[in-house]
Amino acid sequence: MKLYCLSGHPTLPCNVLKFKSTTIMLDCGLDTTSVLNFLPLPLVHSPRLSKLPGWISKDGTINLEKELKECAGRVFVDSQPEFCLPEKELLDLSTIDVILISNYHCMMALPYITEHTGFTGTVYATEPTLQIGRLLMEELVNFMERVPKAQSATSWKNKDMQRLLPGPLKDAVDVWTWKRCYGIQEVNSALSRVQLVGYSQKVELFGAVQVSPLSSGYSLGSSNWIIQSHHEKVAYVSGSSLLTTHPQPMDQSSLKNSDVLILTGLTQMPTANPDGMLGEFCSNLAMTIRAGGNVLVPCYSSGVIYDLLECLYQFIDSANLGTTPFYFISPVANSSLEFSQIFAEWLCHNKQTKVYLPEPPFPHAELIQTNKLKHYPSIHGDFSSDFRQPCVVFTGHPSLRFGDVVHFMELWGKSGLNTIIFTEPDFSYLDALAPYQPLAMKCVYCPIDTRLNFHQVAKLLKEVQPLHVVCPEQYTQPPMTQSHRSDLMLELQPPPMPYRRCSVLNLPFRRRYERVYILPELAHSLVPTEVKPGVSIATVSAVLHSKDNKHTLQSVPKPPPVPPTKKRKRVMEEPPVAPKPLLSGAVPLEAFLATLQMHGITEVKVEETADGHILHLQAEDTLIQLEEDGTHIVCDNNEPLRTTLRDLVLRFLQKL
Amino acid sequence: MDGDCVSLLPRVCDVLAAPRSSLPDDTSLEKLLDWFTTFSKSGVSLLEVNPCLQGFISTVVSSRAAESSIISFALKLTGLVAAAEDGFRALQANSVLDLAFNPQHWREDGLWDDPCVRIGWIQGFSTMLQHRQAFSFFVQADSIKPLLQLQTDTSLFVASAASQMLAHVLMLSHPLLSGFNGKEVDDKSSSSSITGLMRPAVIEADQDVAAVVTEILEYLKTRMLPKESSQLHQSQQILKLLALILSQAGPSLRDKLLLFLREPLEELVALNYSQLTRPLMDVILAAYSSIRGDEKVPDPILCHLLSVMLNQRKPFDRIHAAAAFLCSGHDNQIHMAQSACILLLPMEIITGLTLLEGNSTVKEHRLLMMEQLQSKISCISMICISLKHIPKITLMAPDCRPCPPAVVVAAVLALLRLCRGLSPPSLNGCVAVFRNVTGSGKVQKCALEALSALSSSSEVSVMLVEVFTLLIEYLNHPDSDPTMLQKSYQALVQWIGVCSNLSSITNQLKEDLTQVVRKRACDMRWEVRDSTVEFLGHLAGLPACRTEVGGACNAAEYLLGGCCVTTPLLVEALHDPESYVRASAVSALAQTMTHSWQEGVVPTKEQAEIVTQLLEMLSQDTEGFARRAVLQYFITWFSSHPSCTSSPLLMQSVRSVLLQGSADLDWEVKVHTLDLAELLMDQAFLGQHGYTKGLESHPAQPHPYAATAKQAYTLTQRSDLLCALDGLVKQGLLSVLLSGLFDCDRPVGLKACRLLIRLKHVLLLKTQDESDAVKTDPRLYCELLSQGWAQEIRNVLGTEDRSNETDPHTVTVNVCNLVTSLDLEERLDVLTRSSDHFYNSPRSLLQDILTASAAHAQQDSQLKEEVIVDCY
């Protein structure tokens, strides 16, 4: 069993598991942090961004002024943003049989894997994962396509050139693998390969293994996966949460007794408690509005935003924010808000029961009805006529490099009354803000990451007790900035197996058993002998038939009447040798000694050993070793005696 | 004892003595006993007044069918009766005492197994031991043996009562022996009334008494040491008894006891049983507590025991022992310093700061302590104990404390940072221990409390900036729970309060504080908003502090930029959905305004708007808390303003407040309204003859023969009084008082009645000798509505007063007539009694017992009838 690690990002994993002749890809997350190296794509012409000076090295030897621009002391690539893809060279992607998706954030690289690689397999995901994943992909495509940029910067990627660039561009890794965003056709094609599954549904893969998604409690339709054969079980835990938020709670018990547990997607903010962050979010929001400023919340169009809106629904009245407009701007805003209301079966119990009342499970429906929350596909159109300040705007993309958020940054960045509140943990807020500096706007960082923290995961692993744990190497040491926090790492016994991008791990367990079926007629022909109460054995002569990873024992076909040939005679001359009978049972010492005595062997010295006894027949100078799993007669040059002794031993044993 | 009760008691005794008697509730017997005890304490002979009691006692004691609760009651009553010598003799004559206090008698029927009977026996006996005869009875009956057995009884109540009695017996016996031996008698014991009573009788040697003392001491000595760990409970009980005795004993008995019990005590201390740490420390501290000021050198045995407790035990026990000793506040410098070191050791290990430089004994304990700190539970427990006592250490004499207070403050700050994971442990600190405290809410709360308390230590003001910085960090931290935030605010107020010079607080810190307060005022959790608002109020209430320019300034003004920050936040909080926050905001606003009120500053437009909002709250707020706070706001304003009449806004508001407050549904709001009315009265009548201010609600009646200085009154004063009254009537005061008088809530009625009596006194004294012209002065008349309580007043007054010609719904009354006709004194008498005074009377109790019994009997007969019908 092998694990190929194609991504080094612990929360955007992409691993391939080779298990019992199947090749299973576990998630295909897209690392979008690379876009932080690019200039923002403004929706409306930005004189500031268009006038940025090009970059020329200090000594003037390198001139990349068309590709690189200087802004607030940093250098950015002036081109369509590019993403860091999972490793494609480690193994042939066309050999992948299936892809298991755990949540909609971990499938954004799917078109890069399924398209133009020869991939012919199936992708398994739950319905909300597919639908919301589709929304996120469409949004991403829309963000990119509505601000087309003809220029594609490649010169800076030249190794010799790159190492002369200022940081962080200089330190960017695998820049040649960075790719521009896919198109809508690729999205559609990739998603057409998805086959929907429900929680605990068992899907057979080639008869060899069975895969099954379990609720992971992180987002709508998010799953952990169990991959098991008859005798082996691998658990894949990715992006799980034990907090009481909108999704169904995490199914922990099904993860028990795994041979290997692959652990990814822990919280990126182990020191930020989501409840505390939510409180910070609300109080900073209220404080800004009270002071007459606007609040900008760069966020994804699905996920934590549902919880934020729910929290605000309760907070609005207590903070006297009843008249403040809340805007949600995204090409998929409408679909996202509506989808969340229809996936009732994937929601937590409280929300499920609301559906039967019937009431919308999420209170944002009421916010929309009462006009407190308004949603728009973009800043153009209706929004510009409805727009009223002070207000709260939720919009993407959280990287601040593309999407409507860029416009609001340009609009509000210069006033100290306004506040930007970061709630998504995926991007460093300082890096995200870098191209907008100097900034008068107040910045608040409240990353809300509901995924498991180290304390919770330690408890979980204690409960489910896997034999081995495999995890990204980042989890096996404290964070670099807090090297003293030994509580922010996994401490297990045996220690977890760490992986990094491009690692290939031999998973530390051997397959010891395989299930074999026996056909009824063959079974009928067997003659079992009881060796001890409840245990019977029989010798089987059969033909092993293996097909689709299923093994069956069939009766030995009777030899067809062989046409008389010359060979026949030879066959007749050598009759088939009957298999020797199998022996079972134990030799009782006292009775055996008595039998020896009856046969005239009287001088026997008995020595007790760890495994049984050694009988020394002194007169005959012979040893008989009686052990649990074997009997040896050591008798030199006295074949008659050996035969006699053997026969005496055989008297006490059963023959099969 | 009134006649009714005396006549009822025999029937009650019959009921109680009857088998299967039924009681109205479990507390009836206790109440009855309390009633008897009150009588007996007043010196009345119970048997003389109630001869039936003797019959009751002897019936119950000799009955085989009485219930254990009745037996217990009878035993306690026996003790009470026999506590008087005549009672004792009477009961002794009937041999009731022999029977009642013979445990064997109760054992025969298996009643002794009931803890209720055992406790009745102990308490009865204990109550009886008030005189020589009773004590002789105790000695002769050899009751010491069963009593000693009960000291380790399975029932904690029985064991505790037995310990109390044993201590009592020893206290009685010891002076008898000392007197016999001709030695010094303990001051404490000789001062007790019991021994005082007994002393004259002790002339002859009493071997039996000596035997009792010996038996108790031997018992203590032989049973103190547990032979196996299962006997630890017994040792604990014995140590508790010893502590009890030592706390009551004087130096002589203490020294004898310590000498006699030295061996087992030393052995016990050395045995290192954690469970015995606390009882052992109780013993040591009880012995210490009996050390008088003139005894300069503590007992060497005691010193030795304490040294062992502080040095040789496990770290966890040592911390407990040190904490107990430090708490006791004894003047033993060596052990105090040692205790301080022990308590500071965990802090030193965790923070890595040097708190105990050069202390050799501590070095020995360090390894053991570090080991113990590895365990999370004991680590947190020890640190919390340490933190709780740290402030006391900083208050110790400089030559006694191990390090300067500022270093201790630094250690607490370092610990708080560690808890937040804010800074890495220094190299000296133990990393494994660091994990135990990271994120521990309990440690953080204790540390914040300690930090608060440390503000009052000397030489700590140098730490102000660091404390400020950390507390702001805490207030800002998203993970701080409401309690932590509240404690942080409290600590901040404490530190600002004691540091008269805030000039070291930088502008950045002030800005940070302002930002964090603004943020927390918008917090999701109402508790946090409430704490924030309270903080603003407390800050405003602090005395003026010195600033960098050398001037004096209000702390809120200096730190938060004054009203431009505070007031808008508080005004915003007036609309908070949570009533507690609204109430706190109103109080905080009052504290913020007090300063300007005291100076008589003319209210700004903003303040006038606040008043409008508050009046709105008073009439519309659905929660009582907020409305009460509004009343308090006006009371504070009224009482802090130098001249209320000079503030038209205040006087206008008061009229509305009185009107709305008296019509409120909440009784506390109404009482507060009356408080405001009282202030109005004080202001109007102060200086007038016959008027008393404040709590003197019953002005002393002028002595019949005292010379009244009538001549001192001038016409101007009389006119002033009538003007003042007129002013009060116009403010609506009279309506408030009268409506309060007829209010269904007793506290409201009581307060109104007292105020009306004061009004009556001042008016009557003025008008009694005046001409009719004065009595008919129009200013003495007021109009009353003809509905509600006013109708009642009209009924009281009859038709004497005039109906208003213009408005048929109102009636005009003479205030003097009104206050005299209401019979206020009688009303006050009724109102002063608690509403359940009748139901709690002894007579009611006795009747209840009889009624319950009758009901029970009826039920029984019905049952019997049913059975008969069935059988038939």
pLDDT tens for residues B127-175? Answer: 999 888 888 888 888 899 999 999 989 898 999 999 999 998 888 877 6
Q: At what angle do helices B667-685 and B624-640 cross, to 10 degrees?
A: 10
How many Å apart are CA A155 and CA A496, to the nearest integer? Answer: 41
Domain covering A274-445, topology = Rossmann fold (3.40.50)
Please tell me which of the candidates B421, B522, B576 has its beta carbon nearest to residue A287.
B522
What is chain A's mean pLDDT, rounded?
A: 91
What is chain B's mean pLDDT, rounded?
A: 82
Chain B contact for A277 (CB, 8 A cutoff):
yes
Average pLDDT, stretch A230-240? Answer: 94
Where in B522-656 does DSSP place strands (E)?
545-546, 552-553
Which site among A289, A456, A482, A484 would you substitute to test the B interface, given the most B Cβ atoms closer than 10 Å to its Cβ? Answer: A484
State residue B211's pLDDT score.
83
B680 in the same domain as B814? yes
Question: 3-class SS at A633?
Answer: strand
Does the structure show a pLDDT above 90 at A183?
yes
Which stretch of A308-312, B308-312, B385-389 has the lowest confidence by average pLDDT? B308-312
Tally of domains in chain B: 4
Please tell me which of the candidates A279, A317, A446 has its beta carbon nearest to residue B577.
A317
Q: At what angle do helices B207-224 and B156-181 cross, to 10 degrees?
A: 130
Is there a contact between A284 and B572 if contact means CB atoms under 8 Å apart?
A: no
Q: A300: distance to nearest CA of chain B, Å? A: 23
Average pLDDT, stretch A521-548? Answer: 88
B254 in the same domain as B354? no
Please tell me which of the candidates B424, B522, B523 has its beta carbon nearest to residue A290.
B522
State residue B786's pLDDT score.
59
Does the structure show a pLDDT above 80 at B776?
no
State residue B546's pLDDT score.
65
CB atoms within 10 A of CB A551: 15
Q: Where are the domains of chain A?
A: 2-268+451-506, 274-445, 583-655
Average pLDDT, stretch B760-780? Answer: 69
Is there a contact between A277 and B478 if contact means CB atoms under 8 Å apart?
A: yes
Domain boundary among B411, B435, B459: B459
Q: A491: distance to nearest CA of chain B, Å? A: 13
pLDDT tens, position by position, B816-852: 878 888 888 888 888 888 766 667 787 888 888 888 8
Nearest CA in chain A to B517: A287
Q: Please answer whether residues A612 and A625 qualify as being in contact, where contact means their C-beta atoms are separated by less than 8 angstroms.
A: yes
Chain B residues whose beta carbon lies within 8 Å of the beta carbon of residue A272: 478
> A633 has which bridge partners?
A624
B453 in the same domain as B388? yes
Is there a contact between B524 and A282 if contact means CB atoms under 8 Å apart?
A: yes
List, as ranges, residues 413-472 from A with C-beta within 8 Å of B.
446
Domain boundary among B459, B492, B523: B459
Does the structure show a pLDDT above 90 at B327?
no
Average pLDDT, stretch A388-399? Answer: 95
Does the structure show a pLDDT above 70 at B62?
yes
Does the structure show a pLDDT above 80 at A403?
yes
Average pLDDT, stretch B762-791? Answer: 68
pLDDT tens, position by position, B734-752: 888 988 998 888 899 999 9
Does the structure show a pLDDT above 50 at A143?
yes
Chain B contact for A536 (CB, 8 A cutoff):
no
A-to-B residue pairs, Cβ atoms closer than 8 angstroms: 60
Which site among B524, B530, B580 would you substitute to test the A interface, given the most A Cβ atoms closer than 10 Å to its Cβ? Answer: B524
Q: B406: distance to nearest CA of chain A, Å? A: 27
List, as ranges, residues 576-595 from A with C-beta within 8 Å of B.
none
State residue A234's pLDDT score.
96
- Give B605's pLDDT tier (boundaries 50, 70, 90): confident
pLDDT tens, position by position, A490-529: 988 889 999 999 999 999 877 788 899 999 999 998 888 8
Query: Is residue B596 situated within a structural domain?
Result: no
State residue A573's pLDDT score.
54
Chain B contact for A399 (CB, 8 A cutoff):
no
Domain boundary among B277, B292, B310: B310
State residue B186's pLDDT score.
47
Is there a contact between B421 and A319 if contact means CB atoms under 8 Å apart?
A: no
- Give A237's pLDDT tier (boundaries 50, 70, 90): very high
Chain B contact for A510 (CB, 8 A cutoff):
no
Q: How far is CA B75 from the centre of its chain?
A: 33
Average pLDDT, stretch A386-414? Answer: 95
Does the structure show a pLDDT above 80 at A394?
yes
Please tell me which of the candidates A282, A283, A290 has its beta carbon nearest to residue B572.
A290
Is there a contact between B435 and A277 if contact means CB atoms under 8 Å apart?
A: no
Chain B residues whose beta carbon lies within 8 Å of the beta carbon of residue A317: 577
How many Å apart are CA B813 and CA B802, to the nearest integer? Answer: 7
pTM here?
0.81
Is there a contact between A485 and B425 if contact means CB atoms under 8 Å apart?
A: no
Question: 3-class SS at B205?
Answer: coil
Q: A457: distance to nearest CA of chain B, Å? A: 17
Q: B402: distance to nearest CA of chain A, Å? A: 30
Is there a contact between A486 and B425 if contact means CB atoms under 8 Å apart?
A: no
| Residues A177, A178, A183: CA angle, nearest 5 degrees | 115
B337 in the same domain as B448? yes
Chain A residues whose beta carbon lies within 8 Å of the beta carbon of residue B479: 273, 276
State residue A347's pLDDT score.
92
List, as ranges, residues 474-493 from A with C-beta within 8 Å of B.
482-487
State residue B202's pLDDT score.
44
State residue A251's pLDDT score.
95
State residue B872's pLDDT score.
40
Nearest CA in chain A to B578: A318
Is there a contact between A318 and B431 if contact means CB atoms under 8 Å apart?
A: no
Chain A residues whose beta carbon lies within 8 Å of the beta carbon of residue B478: 272-273, 276-277, 279-280, 446
Which site among A318, A324, A417 would you substitute to test the B interface, given the most B Cβ atoms closer than 10 Å to its Cβ? Answer: A318
Does the structure show a pLDDT above 50 at B788?
yes
Query: Is residue B614 situated within a structural domain?
Result: no
- Give B502's pLDDT tier (boundaries 50, 70, 90): confident
Average pLDDT, stretch B593-618? Answer: 88
Q: What percent of chain A has pLDDT over 90?
A: 64
Does the structure show a pLDDT above 60 at B429?
no
CATH number corresponding to A2-268+451-506: 3.60.15.10
pLDDT tens, position by position, B18-55: 877 777 777 888 988 998 898 888 877 888 888 888 88
State residue B868's pLDDT score.
45
Largest Cα span, chain A: 116
Does the structure show a pLDDT above 70 at B763?
yes
Q: A618: distance to nearest CA of chain B, Å? A: 59
Higher pLDDT, A167 or B657: B657
List, as ranges, residues 108-147 from A with C-beta within 8 Å of B.
none
pLDDT tens, position by position, B288-316: 877 766 665 567 888 888 888 888 778 88
As to burial, measured by CB atoms within 10 angstroms (0-12 exposed, 13-18 middle, 19+ buried), residue B518 is buried
B150 in the same domain as B277? yes
Chain A residues whose beta carbon lies within 8 Å of the beta carbon of residue B578: 318
pLDDT tens, position by position, A445-465: 999 999 999 999 999 999 999
B28 in the same domain as B2? yes
Does the structure show a pLDDT above 70 at A535?
yes
- Give B714's pLDDT tier (boundaries 50, 70, 90): very low
Average pLDDT, stretch A590-619? Answer: 88
Chain B contact for A273 (CB, 8 A cutoff):
yes
B119 in the same domain as B151? no
Instruction: Write out the residues of chain B at the interface with chain A, using a CB-CB cutoff of 8 A.
Output: 421, 424-425, 431, 434-435, 438-439, 477-480, 518-526, 572, 575-578
Q: Please answer whether residues B583 and B591 qualify as being in contact, where contact means their C-beta atoms are separated by less than 8 angstroms.
A: no
Does the structure show a pLDDT above 60 at B702?
no
State residue B206's pLDDT score.
63
Nearest CA in chain A to B573: A319
Cα end-to-end distance, chain B, whole Å: 50
State residue B767's pLDDT score.
65
> A590 has which bridge partners?
none
Higher pLDDT, A131 or B291: A131
| Positive or negative: CA dihedral B701, B704, B705, B707 | positive
Q: Which helix (H) or strand (E) holds B791?
A: helix B789-797
Is there a contact between B478 and A286 if contact means CB atoms under 8 Å apart?
A: no
Is there a contact between B438 and A482 if contact means CB atoms under 8 Å apart?
A: no
| Residues B297, B303, B308: CA angle, nearest 5 degrees | 165
Chain A residues whose beta carbon lies within 8 Å of the beta carbon of residue B518: 287
Nearest CA in chain A to B522: A283
Phi, psi of B722 (to 5 degrees): -65, -35
Please tell me which of the candidates A284, A287, A320 has its beta carbon nearest to residue B575.
A320
Q: How far is CA A301 from the centre of its chain?
A: 22
State residue B185's pLDDT score.
40
Please tell me which of the candidates A277, A483, A487 has its beta carbon nearest to residue B435.
A487
Is there a contact between B520 and A271 if contact means CB atoms under 8 Å apart?
A: no
State residue B709's pLDDT score.
41
Does the structure show a pLDDT above 80 at B787?
no
Average pLDDT, stretch B250-271? Answer: 86
Average pLDDT, stretch A321-327? Answer: 91
Nearest CA in chain B to A317: B577
In words, the CATH class of domain A583-655 is alpha beta
Is there a contact between B478 and A284 if contact means CB atoms under 8 Å apart?
A: no
As to burial, measured by CB atoms within 10 angstroms (0-12 exposed, 13-18 middle, 19+ buried), residue B697 is middle
Does the structure show a pLDDT above 50 at B63?
yes
How many Å apart are CA B669 and CA B740, to the nearest integer? Answer: 11
- Note down the domain range covering B133: 1-139
